[in-house]
Amino acid sequence: MNEKIDLKYENPNGYQIDYGLLQEFESHLNPINPESCQIPCRVLGYGEMSTVFEIKEQNMQGLAFKRISIFESTDELEDYLITYDEYHHILEDEIGLNLPPNGYAVVISNSRRPIFYIIQEKIQPTAVGNQAIHLMPGHMVEKLTQCVLRDLLRVWNYNLLDTGCCVGIDGQISNWVIKDFDVDKPCIEQDTCLCYVDTSTPMLRLNGEEQLDTELFLRPAPSFLAWILRLFIVQDVLDRYYEFRKVVIDILANFYKEQRPDLIPPSLQVANEFFSNEAAEFNLEPIQEDEISSYYKEDASIWRLYLNMRYLDRFIYRYILRRDYPYILPPKIKR
């Protein structure tokens, strides 16, 4: 299959990719066992709605391809791209966050759905926040937390402006990359530059109205679970990314997921001091440690159930309905 989506859906942004090879990769990709593709590849990471690949071909060297397969039509994709591009523009040009250079391309799946690939330069894994915290002494993790909070403060300062536009962000530590990080001499200073890398879920509200179609969040969910998520979960999950305090709780709770609960008390102190000093105008209540543990337990149980139901849904697709399951599922996550 070599059919190509209209060029208006492509923005390689200077990356010299082999479009035909990317289409061939997609055509031969097995969502059940993605690394078995006849075009050599490696999974670099999993998200709730995406999978990041390294394609081991000469003209794809040094690049990471984030595959998003939630779209059923080019109309859906086009609406998403408008929000995606605007989100990038606001984060980078108006708020001042550092984002990695990126492009994107669209190919067609075997089921005739558009598949969206975000293209970025491959990141040094040890420079990603959730890996770096295992390489640094505790006092540097505290400085890293402070650097993340300062970048997040830029977002909420922007949201205070009378623009009619409100930005949400997933600030967890795994979404930040430490610029010029030296694994042999891991060091974080107060002015260390961070790069925010998770822009594939563009959370943007204009005059209170969500610009991203929330039904896209439900697309990978089992049909028997989607209505429950729609009624009770999706809006709550989205809302938390628009509230400064809840975003910070989510960051701190993620230390549980990263098997580093020892980092929570000192990072909590950093966060509460930040609330009372640099973010004082927001009048944020200090976070209590029990809030973090209860938040994490609830969040982990929700995502554990969600993933298990998706595994069940895949089984139904494959062995009962005898249909291809279009999504790549992450392995079981230790939480």
Asked if 93 contacts 189 with a C-beta cutoff of 8 angstroms, the reply is no
- The span from the CA of 317 to the CA of 326, in Å, is 10
State the burial class of residue 308 (Cβ atoms within 10 Å of its Cβ: 0-12, 13-18, 19+). Answer: exposed
pLDDT 10s digits, 93-149 = 999 999 988 889 999 988 888 999 999 989 999 999 999 999 999 899 999 999 999
Establish how many alpha carbons lie within 13 A of residue 88's alpha carbon, considering only the half-sphere containing its beta carbon: 15
Q: Say which range, 12-26, 115-129, 163-177, 271-285, has the weakest mean pLDDT.
A: 12-26
Inform me whether the pLDDT recorded for 160 exceeds 60. Answer: yes
The pLDDT, as a whole number, for residue 6 is: 53
24-71 pLDDT, tens digit each: 999 999 998 999 988 999 999 888 789 999 999 988 888 999 999 999
Of the pLDDT bands very low, low, confident and very high (cuts 50, 70, 90), residue 7 is very low
pLDDT computed for residue 9 by the predictor = 56
Q: Minimum mean pLDDT among 29-33, 312-316, 330-334: which range? A: 330-334
Sign of CA dihedral 307, 70, 106, 80: negative
Residues 200 and 118 sit within 8 Å (Cβ to Cβ) = yes
Q: Is the pLDDT of residue 156 over 60?
A: yes
Domains of the chain and CATH, by start: 7-121 (3.30.200.20)
- Lowest mean pLDDT, pick from 180-184, 229-233, 317-321: 229-233
Q: What is the DSSP letter of 41?
A: E
Q: What span, in angstroms and rounded, lies between the C-alpha atoms of 138 and 24? A: 46
Residue 191 pLDDT level (bands cut at 50, 70, 90): confident
